[in-house]
Amino acid sequence: MKKLLLATASTALFAGAASAEEVKIGLLLGYTGPLESTVVNMSKGAELAIKEVSDSGKLLGGSTVTAVKGDTTCIDATAATAAAERLITADKVAAIVGGDCSGVTTAVLQNVAKPNGIVMVSPSATSPALSTVEDDGLFFRTAPSDARQGAVVAEVLKDKGVKSIALSYSNSDYGKGLAEAIEKEFKAAGGEVTISAPHDDGKADYSAEVASLASAGGEVLVVAGYVDQGGKGIIQASLDSGAFEVFYLPDGMYGESLIEAIGPALNGSYGDVPGVEGEGIEAFKKLAAADGWEGTSAFAPESYDAAALILLAMQAGGAATSAAAKDKIMDLANAPGEKIYPGELAKALELVAAGTDIDYVGATNVELIGPGESAGSYREYTITDGKFETVKFR
Residue 233 interacting with another protein (CB under 8 A): yes
Q: How near is the Cβ of 234 to another protein at its closest, in Å?
A: 11
Q: How near is the Cβ of 265 to another protein at its closest, in Å?
A: 10
Site for another protein in 185-214 (CB under 8 A): 195, 197-200, 202-205, 207-212, 214
β-partners of residue 20 are none
Between residues 226 and 341, which has the closer beta carbon with respect to another protein?
226
Residue 165 interacting with another protein (CB under 8 A): no
Residue 243 interacting with another protein (CB under 8 A): yes
Number of chain residues interacting with another protein (CB under 8 A): 31
Report yes or no: 374 and 364 within 8 Å, Cβ to Cβ: yes
Q: How near is the Cβ of 94 to another protein at its closest, in Å?
A: 37
Q: Which of 10, 11, 132, 215 binds another protein (CB under 8 A)?
A: 215
Residue 267 interacting with another protein (CB under 8 A): no
Residue 266 interacting with another protein (CB under 8 A): no
Q: How near is the Cβ of 264 to another protein at its closest, in Å?
A: 11
Residue 240 interacting with another protein (CB under 8 A): yes
Q: Which of 44, 141, 176, 232 binds another protein (CB under 8 A)?
A: 232
Q: How near is the Cβ of 233 to another protein at its closest, in Å?
A: 7
Q: How near is the Cβ of 381 to another protein at its closest, in Å?
A: 22
Between residues 120 and 214, which has the closer beta carbon with respect to another protein?
214
Residue 44 interacting with another protein (CB under 8 A): no
Between residues 224 and 243, which has the closer beta carbon with respect to another protein?
243
Q: How near is the Cβ of 199 to another protein at its closest, in Å?
A: 7
Residue 246 interacting with another protein (CB under 8 A): no
Q: How near is the Cβ of 162 to another protein at its closest, in Å?
A: 19
Residue 228 interacting with another protein (CB under 8 A): yes
Q: Which of 35, 77, 216, 283 binds another protein (CB under 8 A)?
A: 216
Q: How near is the Cβ of 11 to another protein at its closest, in Å?
A: 45
Cα separation, 13 vs 192, in Å, equals 57
3-class SS letters over the chain: CHHHHHHHHHHHHHHHHCCCCEEEEEEEECCCCCCHHHHHHHHHHHHHHHHHHHHHCCCCCCCEEEEEEEECCCCCHHHHHHHHHHHHHHCCCCEEEECCCHHHHHHHHHHHHHHHCCEEEECCCCCHHHHCCCCCCCEEEEEECHHHHHHHHHHHHHHCCCCEEEEEEECCHHHHHHHHHHHHHHHHCCCEEEEEEEECCCCCCCHHHHHHHHHHCCCEEEEECCCCCHHHHHHHHHHHHCCCCCEEECHHHCCHHHHHHHHHHHCCCEEEEECCCCHHHHHHHHHHHHHCCCCCCCCHHHHHHHHHHHHHHHHHHCCCCHHHHCCCHHHHHCCCCEEECCCCHHHHHHHHHCCCCEEECCCCCCCEECCCEECCCEEEEEEECCEEEEEEEC
Of the candidates 293, 305, 325, the residue with the CA atom closest to the CA atom of residue 376: 305
Q: Which chain residues interact with another protein by CB under 8 A? A: 171, 195, 197-200, 202-205, 207-212, 214-217, 228, 232-233, 236-237, 240-243, 257, 261
